[in-house]
Amino acid sequence: MPMAGAEQRTERRIAVSELPEEYRQFGALLRLTTEVAVTTTDVSLNGFGFVAELPSENFIVGSRLVLYPLGKNIPVFGVVVHSAAISTGTRVGVRLQHLGGYDAYTAVISKLLGQVTEPSTALG
């Protein structure tokens, strides 16, 4: 069993450098009250990593987030699986839930994975 907060994604990822510009930054809603802009570090079908300019106590492992990588009209729901303080804020890893805009998100990421020729080794 993996340690709480340890990297858990074993699937293929897309590094931020391989993403279209529109997927590199998006909004997130914490505790249903705090909106924050996040910067993507990598994505996969079941989760992604991002950096936020907030302290790590805002991203407790196991807490739920509402994410908007496809825009405000298509929310994607996730659970924090990794959170670490870095010099610019917090590096966060999220496992997506099969709710809301999950199917739309996986359709976009599947298409992007098909366009990426080399598997990414970006790690959170």
Q: Where is average pLDDT lowest: 28-42, 88-102, 103-117?
A: 103-117
Mean predicted lDDT score pLDDT of the chain: 84
Half-sphere exposure of 24 (CA within 13 A, CB side): 8
Q: Where is average pLDDT lowest: 10-14, 16-20, 51-55, 107-111?
A: 10-14
Residue 105 host element (H or E): helix 102-115
Give residue limits of the domains in the chain: 18-115
pLDDT given for residue 65 in this prediction: 94
Q: What is the mean pLDDT of residues 72-76?
A: 89
The distance from CA 74 to its chain's CA centroid, rounded to whole angstroms, is 15
The predicted-structure confidence for 27-36, as pLDDT tens digits, reads as follows 999 987 889 9
Identify the three-state secondary structure at position 75: coil
pLDDT given for residue 97 in this prediction: 95
Give the CATH number of domain 18-115: 2.40.10.220
More confident site: 61 or 33: 61
Please give the Cα distance from 115 to 21 (Å, whole number): 15
Task: Tell me the whole-structure pTM to 2 decimals.
Answer: 0.80
pLDDT given for residue 8 in this prediction: 54
